[in-house]
Amino acid sequence: MAQTAFIERLPKAELHLHIEGTLEPPMMLAFAERNRVPLPYGSVSEIQNAYRFRNLQDFLDIYYLGTRVLVTKQDFRELTWAYLVRAREQNVLHAEIFFDPQAHTDRDVPFATVVNGIHQALVEAKDALGISTRLILCFLRHLSAEAAMATLEEALPFQDRIVAVGLDSSEVGNPPNKFTDVFARARAEGFLCVAHAGEEGPADYVRQALDELLVRRIDHGNRSLDDDALVERLARDGTPLTVCPLSNLKLGVIESLKDHPLLEMMDRGLMVTVNSDDPAYFGGYVNENYQAVADALGLNNEVLYRLARNSFEASFLPEQEKTGLLAKLDAETRLQKAS
C-alpha cells in the first residue's frame, strides 16, 4: 500500500518513548534467566496474554514487574540498543528517550548503572546508526516529592547526559503541583521540563503542568480538549503534545482508534506529534502508530508530513540540527512525490 511506504520512508523524530517500555517479551525472559530474577511467566505467549489492560494502572503494574529483570549496565545497554536499531529501521532520525530511574534505584540498582548503560548505547548508535538522541529523566508521580528531589540530586553528576526531566506513572490523584518544588530546582539546575498530563487526569492537570512546572511539552494531553480556553492557550503558545495513539487504545483512554482526537487536535491548532510510548506493550513502534491513525482517521500524506515535521520542530535539538533534519524530510517527500 502506497501510504505504508510513505510512512516507512518518512524521516521522523520520536519524542515520547519509555526505554523500559521497549522490553520485548523474549528479552524479558532472557534477562530474567541471566540475572536469576523470578517472573510469573514461563513463555512469550504467557507474557503476551498478560498484556490486557483496562486502564493505566493495570499496565503500570505489569510494566514495573518487567523492569525487575533490568539489573546490569549490559542490560540497559542492550535494551537501548535494540530500541535504537528498530527505530532507525523505521526512519527515526532523532529520539528523545524517557527513563524511570526510581523503578531501578528502589531495587538497589545504582543510578550510575542505569544511566551509563543507556548512554553507552546512545553513543554507539550515533556512530553506527546515525541516529541522534536525548535522554529525559522521569520522576514517578505515585512516589513522594521528597523521593523525586533525592533522585534529582542523584542525577546532577550526570547532567551532561540528561537534557530534561519529566513526570510519569499513575496520574489521577498525583497532580503536577505535587512536584512544583522539584521542577523549580530542576529548572534552576538547567534541565528542561516536560510532564505526562491529561492522559487519564483532567484538563486542570495540563494547566498545572504549564503554570506550576513550566513544561515545554505536554506528554499525551488528550484531556486538554475538554477545556476550550486551555486549547486556545496551547495553540497560541505552540506547546507540543506528544500523542500516543496505540497506547491510548490499549489503556482505554479511547474506545476505538476511530475516536482518536488527533485530527480534532490538529484542526483546533495544536502542535501534535505521534509517538509509541511503550511499544513492546502496546503492539507497535512509531510507524505502526502513524499507520493506525492514518487508517482509522483517513489521514492523507500532507497530514502525515505535518506530523513528521512537528516531531522535529518540537524536539529539544538546537535550531541548526532541526533545520538539517527538516531539510532531509523535505528532500525525501519531494522524492516520493516525483516517483
- Output 70 or 253, the one with its CB closest to Zn ion: 253
Binder among 23, 29, 56, 249 for ligand ADE (CB under 6 A):
56
Show contacts with ligand ADE in window 139-178 (CB under 6 A). Answer: 168-169
Q: How far is CA 194 from the centre of its chain?
A: 11
- Output 23 or 230, the one with its CB closest to ligand ADE: 23
| Cα–Cα–Cα angle for 115, 118, 123, rounded to 5 degrees | 115
The DSSP H or E segment spanning 16 is strand 12-18
Least Å distance, CB 60 to ligand ADE, is: 6
Binder among 80, 113, 247, 291 for ligand ADE (CB under 6 A):
247
- Output 239 or 247, the one with its CB closest to ligand ADE: 247
Distance CA 51, CA 64 (A): 13
Residue type, 247: S
- Output 75 or 199, the one with its CB closest to ligand ADE: 199
- Using Cβ positions, the residue closest to ligand ADE within the complex turns out to be 168
Binder among 277, 293, 299, 333 for ligand ADE (CB under 6 A):
277
- Using Cβ positions, the residue closest to Zn ion within the complex turns out to be 277
Is residue 199 part of the annotated active site? The answer reads: yes
Least Å distance, CB 220 to Zn ion, is: 7
DSSP class per residue in 117-138:
HHHHHHHHHHHHH--EEEEEEE
Answer with the entry of Zn ion, ligand ADE, none that 291 interacts with (C-beta below 5 to 8 A by kind): none
Dihedral pair phi/psi, residue 285, rounded to 5°: -90, -165
Q: Is 298 helix (H, G, I), strand (E, B) or coil?
A: coil
Tell the burial category of 272 from Cβ atoms under 10 Å away from its Cβ (0-12, 13-18, 19+).
buried
223 binds ligand ADE (CB under 6 A): no
Q: Is 256 helix (H, G, I), strand (E, B) or coil?
A: coil
- Output 6 or 205, the one with its CB closest to Zn ion: 205
196 binds ligand ADE (CB under 6 A): yes
Distance CA 290, CA 244 (A): 9
Least Å distance, CB 253 to ligand ADE, is: 9
199 binds ligand ADE (CB under 6 A): yes
Least Å distance, CB 277 to Zn ion, is: 5
Distance CA 116, CA 160 (A): 12
* Per-position b or e across 161-179, b if 16+ CB within 10 A of its CB: bbbbbbbbbbbeebbbbbb
Least Å distance, CB 220 to ligand ADE, is: 7
List interacting residues with Zn ion (CB under 5 A): 277
Place of cell 482508534: 257
Residue type, 175: P
51: number of Cβ within 10 Å: 15
- Output 168 or 317, the one with its CB closest to ligand ADE: 168
- Smallest CA-to-CA distance from 199 within 229, 181, 180, 226 is with 226
Binder among 6, 7, 15, 21 for ligand ADE (CB under 6 A):
21
Active-site residue (options: 96, 199, 200, 212)? 199
Chain contacts with ligand ADE (rule: CB under 6 A): 18, 21, 56, 63, 168-169, 196, 199, 247, 277-278
The residues that are catalytic are 199
